[in-house]
């Protein structure tokens, strides 16, 4: 888990957040054990930016990964930075409910770990369309 948190911490420092100044980094481990990072990227035309979790998922897909085994998110400030509602659904597309999401402080200190089921109970996923 430490390597995942370190990757999220490094990704956070690359965030482009000139409007909110709220830097977020995320990193995920795919089914092959490879780590993919992402940061939030804002746009003057809100809501055209994208979240760190979305960026990490895109990096995973581009690298040939197909599923999320574990994820870490690091935000700005003292409050817990959880994935937003839209990102929870995007994570759900590539993760089982039992996948752990580690939420950390700016310094990388683990604040809380929750499963995707805890963050997004009774979710709608790909199997609902089968």
Query: Mean pLDDT score of the chain, rounded to an integer?
Result: 96
Q: Classify residue 130: in a domain, yes or no.
A: no
What pLDDT does residue 52 have?
A: 98
Taking only the tens place, the pLDDT of each residue in 109-119 is: 999 999 999 99
- Catalytic residue among 42, 53, 70, 127, which? 53
Residue 45 lies in domain: 2-125
How many domains are contained in the chain?
A: 1
**Domain of residue 80, CATH code:** 3.40.140.10
Q: Classify residue 48: in a domain, yes or no.
A: yes
CA distances from 6 to 10, 13, 19, 35, 50 (A): 6, 11, 25, 10, 21
Q: Classify residue 54: in a domain, yes or no.
A: yes
Q: Classify residue 78: in a domain, yes or no.
A: yes
Q: Is residue 4 very low, low, confident or very high in pLDDT (cuts 50, 70, 90)? A: very high
Angle at which helix 52-62 crosses helix 2-12, to 10 degrees, equals 110
Q: Classify residue 7: in a domain, yes or no.
A: yes
- Residue 28, by phi and psi: left (phi above 0), alpha (psi -120 to 50) or beta? beta
Is 42 catalytic? The answer is: no
Q: Classify residue 83: in a domain, yes or no.
A: yes
pTM of this structure: 0.95
Strand partners, 115: 100
Percent of the chain predicted with pLDDT > 90: 96
Q: Classify residue 51: in a domain, yes or no.
A: yes
Give the sheet arrangement for strand 68-74, strand by strand: 35-39, 25-30, 68-74, 100-104, 110-115
């Amino acid at each position: 888990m430490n390597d995942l948190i370190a990757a999220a911490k490094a990704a956070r420092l690359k965030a482009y957040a000139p409007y909110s100044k709220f830097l977020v980094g995320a990193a995920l481990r795919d089914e092959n054990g490879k780590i993919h990072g992402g940061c939030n990227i804002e746009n003057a035309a809100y809501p055209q930016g994208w979240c760190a979790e979305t960026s990490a998922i895109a990096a995973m897909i581009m690298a040939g990964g197909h599923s999320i085994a574990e994820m870490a998110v690091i935000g700005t400030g003292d409050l817990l930075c959880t994935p937003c509602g839209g990102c929870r659904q995007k994570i759900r597309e590539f993760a089982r409910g039992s996948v752990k999401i580690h939420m950390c402080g700016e310094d990388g200190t683990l604040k809380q770990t929750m499963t995707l089921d805890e963050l997004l109970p009774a979710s709608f996923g790909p199997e609902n369309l089968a």
